[in-house]
């Protein structure tokens, strides 16, 4: 079994030593002796911004569908997963904070 060599560094076992190493990197402005800390943080920020994707906004029709699925016994987190949204957005629909009137529309659709 192969060991993770990075964890063999003494700084990972001693928090004080790790803090000292981090301060040394910050004051010297170097990472691995070559790259400047600012260039590394800039590259990280750029990559993080590239990874951000716009979040999906639930529509009124989605809210009606959420009500129907909720009444059929589906869990909120599973409903949220199908829409790729945070479960809190589904809960906002079910609590009436978002898409007012969607419950009534779901009732009429269910009875039809």
Mean pLDDT of the chain: 79
- Cα within 13 Å of Cα(107), Cβ side: 4
**% of the chain with per-residue pLDDT over 70:** 55
Q: What are the residue ranges spanned by the domains of the chain?
A: 7-51, 60-111
Residue 3 is predicted with a pLDDT of 53
Q: Which helix (H) or strand (E) holds 55?
A: none
Looking at 14-75, list the stretches that DSSP marks H as alpha helix, in order from N- to C-terminal side.
15-28, 37-51, 60-71
| Confidence tier at 33 by pLDDT (50, 70, 90) | very low
The encoded tokens of residue 48 equal: 């993080």
Instruction: For residue range 54-97, list pLDDT tens digits in order.
Output: 789 999 999 999 999 999 999 999 999 999 999 999 999 999 99
The residue that leads in pLDDT, 87 or 18, is 87
Phi, psi of 89 (to 5 degrees): -70, -35
The pTM assigned to this predicted structure is 0.55
SS3 90: helix
């Amino acid at each position: 079994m192969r060991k993770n060599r990075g964890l063999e560094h003494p700084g990972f076992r001693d928090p004080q030593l790790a803090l000292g190493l981090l301060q040394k990197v910050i004051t010297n402005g170097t990472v691995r002796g070559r790259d400047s800390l600012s260039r590394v943080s800039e590259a990280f920020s750029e990559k993080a911004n590239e990874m951000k994707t716009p979040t999906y906004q639930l529509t009124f029709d989605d809210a009606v569908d959420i009500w129907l699925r909720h009444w059929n016994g589906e869990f909120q987190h599973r409903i949220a997963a199908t829409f790729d949204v945070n479960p809190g957005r589904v809960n906002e629909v079910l609590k009436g904070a978002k898409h007012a009137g969607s419950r009534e529309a779901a009732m009429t659709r269910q009875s039809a």
